[in-house]
Amino acid sequence: MLKYTMKKYCAEGSKFNQIIIASLMVLPAFSYGTAVGWISPMGSVLMSSGSPSSEPVHPTTISWMASVVYIVGTPAVFLFGYLVDNFGRKTALMLASLAMAVCWSLKLYSTETWALITARAMVGLGVSGAYVVTPLYIKEISEDSIRGTLGSLVVLSQNLGNLVAYVMGEYLSYHTMLWACLAVPILHLVTFTTMPETPSYLLKIGKVEEARDALAWLRCRDSSEPEVTSEMQTLVLELEQTKSGQLAKTLKSLISDRSTSRAFRITLTVILARELCGCVAVLHYASLIFNKASGGQWVLSPNQQASVLGLVQIVGSFTASLLVERTGRKPLLGSTCFVSGIALTTLGAWFYVNGGADMSGGAGGSSWIPMAALCLCIYCDAAGLQPVPFVIMTEMFSFQIRGTVTAILIAFTCVLVSVELRMFQPIEASMGLYFVFWIFAAVCLVSTIYIALVVPETKMRSIDEIYAEIGGKSKKTKEKDCEADVTKL
Fold for the domain defined by 1-195: Growth Hormone; Chain: A; (1.20.1250)
Q: How confident is the model at residue 287 (pLDDT cuts 50, 70, 90)?
A: low
Helix axes 59-86, 399-431, angle to 10 degrees: 170
Q: What pLDDT score does 366 carry?
A: 65
**pLDDT-above-70 percentage for the chain:** 81
Q: How confident is the model at residue 230 (pLDDT cuts 50, 70, 90)?
A: confident
Q: What pLDDT score does 5 carry?
A: 47
Across the chain, mean pLDDT equals 80
364: left (phi over 0), alpha (psi -120 to 50) or beta: left
Amino acid 71 reads I
Is the Cβ–Cβ distance between 78 and 422 less than 8 Å? Answer: no
Q: What pLDDT score does 362 carry?
A: 45
Segment 325-339 mean pLDDT: 86
CA 128 vs CA 117, 179, 200, 392, 408: distances in Å: 17, 23, 21, 20, 12
Q: What pLDDT score does 419 carry?
A: 82
Segment 259-288 mean pLDDT: 82
Segment 49-72 mean pLDDT: 84
Q: What pLDDT score does 32 carry?
A: 93
Segment 201-210 mean pLDDT: 86
Q: Which phi and psi (to 5°) does residue 186 adopt?
A: -65, -45
* DSSP-derived secondary structure for 185-245: HHHHHHHHTTSPPPHHHHHHTT-HHHHHHHHHHHTTS-TTSHHHHHHHHHHHHHHHHS-S-
The yes-or-no verdict on residue 369 having pLDDT over 50 is yes
Q: How confident is the model at residue 122 (pLDDT cuts 50, 70, 90)?
A: very high
Q: What pLDDT score does 391 carry?
A: 74
Do 1-195 and 245-489 show the same overall fold? Answer: yes
Better pLDDT: 123 or 488:
123
Q: What is the pLDDT of residues 143-200, one digit of tens each?
A: 876 766 677 778 788 888 988 998 898 889 999 999 999 999 999 999 998 898 988 8
Question: Check: CATH 1.20.1250.20 for 245-489?
Answer: yes
Q: What pLDDT score does 392 carry?
A: 79
Better pLDDT: 90 or 419:
90
Q: What pLDDT score does 294 carry?
A: 63
Angstrom distance (rounded) from CA 177 to CA 173: 6
Q: What pLDDT score does 312 carry?
A: 86
Better pLDDT: 326 or 382:
382
The yes-or-no verdict on residue 46 having pLDDT over 60 is yes
The yes-or-no verdict on residue 324 having pLDDT over 80 is no
Report domain extents, the chain: 1-195, 245-489
Segment 404-432 mean pLDDT: 81
The yes-or-no verdict on residue 473 having pLDDT over 70 is no
User: Can you give the pTM of this predicted structure?
Assistant: 0.73
